[in-house]
Amino acid sequence: MSYEDIIYEVKDNVALITINRPKVLNALRTQTKEELENAIDTAAADEEVRGMIITGSGKGFIAGSDISEISTDKKGEETTAMSKKAHKLFNKFEEIGKPIIAAVNGYALGGGTELALACDLRIASSKAIFGLPEVDLGVAPCYGGTQRLPRLVGPGAALELLMTGKKISAQEAKEIGLVNKVVEHAELISEAEKMMQQIIKNAPIAVKYCKFMVNKGLQMSLKDGLDYEAKVNGILVETEDAKEGVKAFFDKRKPVFKNK
């Protein structure tokens, strides 16, 4: 697919995906979501790509849905279908066994905050603004915000954002646990790349299963989650990468992992 709404580039085993509609603060139209899904699938299938960073161009990360596609007489079944399609896309972020960092450079409103929530980690520019203002329009977030936000920050903080529709700064987002780190605007991408390199220097198979154990464990009881953790580690310890990691430790050298 040739891209019009995004920029896709690979550097140092990391795919950088930039939403590139700065004139509308990178608002998500149908085409943008289709291109984003293709880029995610491309990065997932590329063995050279070990992780992904998603960011936006200009002053916006993603300022919600494109108003040109919003109708005052939209039918309920249309909204349900649109919501499920977005869920399918954002679910991929969690199901792909590669780490994804949201580098939030500016306005992340509505679907922008929801996309960031679907990523594994979130680094925010000091200029970033977060919010789920759908209640101002008489609706509610429908790209996963009502479900992922409380799982990340707790129901109280989530409900405050969801029911007031207020916008918060990057620092406030960090204080409630919505973002992992806040950095100066000019350092955003370099900091995201630095964090990603800290991740991908490790055994890919171990990174993948850390991600899966957290995401799947959140849907289980503690007992079932602990059982799952024990079983996964029983598999990991017999992998080539685990054996290489231990051998490299004793040899006092850097391990060479093969994702096997």
Q: What is the mean pLDDT of residues 56-80?
A: 84
The conformation of residue 70, written as its DSSP 8-state character, comes to: -
Strands 129-131 and 167-169: antiparallel
The CATH code of the domain at 6-200 is 3.90.226.10
Q: Please tell me if the domain spanning 6-200 has the same topology as the one spanning 204-251.
A: no
Helix (H, G, I), strand (E, B) or coil at 20: coil
The CATH code of the domain at 204-251 is 1.10.12
Cα–Cα separations (whole angstroms), residue 93 to 86, 101, 175? 11, 10, 24
pLDDT tens digit sequence for 205-258:
999 999 999 999 999 999 999 999 999 999 999 999 999 898 889 999 999 998
Alpha helices in 16-75, H assignment, sequence order: 30-45
Tokens 């989530």 identify what position? 158
What percentage of the chain exceeds 70 in pLDDT?
99
Q: What is the mean pLDDT of residues 149-167?
A: 98
Per-residue confidence (pLDDT) for residue 72, from 0 to 100: 66
**Strand extents, DSSP E, 106-229:** 107-109, 121-125, 129-131, 167-169, 181-183
By CB atoms closer than 10 A (0-12, 13-18, 19+), residue 197 is: middle
Angle at 215 between CA 219 and CA 92, to 5 degrees: 115
What percentage of the chain exceeds 90 in pLDDT?
87
Quote the CA–CA distance of 129 and 171 in Å, as a whole number.
9
How many Cα atoms are found within 13 Å in the side-chain-facing hemisphere of 235? 12
Quote the CA–CA distance of 118 and 95 in Å, as a whole number.
10
Q: Which residue has the higher pLDDT, 81 or 131?
A: 131
Q: Where are the domains of the chain?
A: 6-200, 204-251
| Contact (CB, 8 A) for 115 and 141 | no
Predicted TM-score of the model (pTM):
0.95
- List beta partners, residue 125: 183
Catalytic residue annotation: 114, 134
Per-residue confidence (pLDDT) for residue 188, from 0 to 100: 98
**How many C-beta atoms lie closer than 10 Å to residue 232's C-beta?**
17
| Contact (CB, 8 A) for 116 and 102 | yes
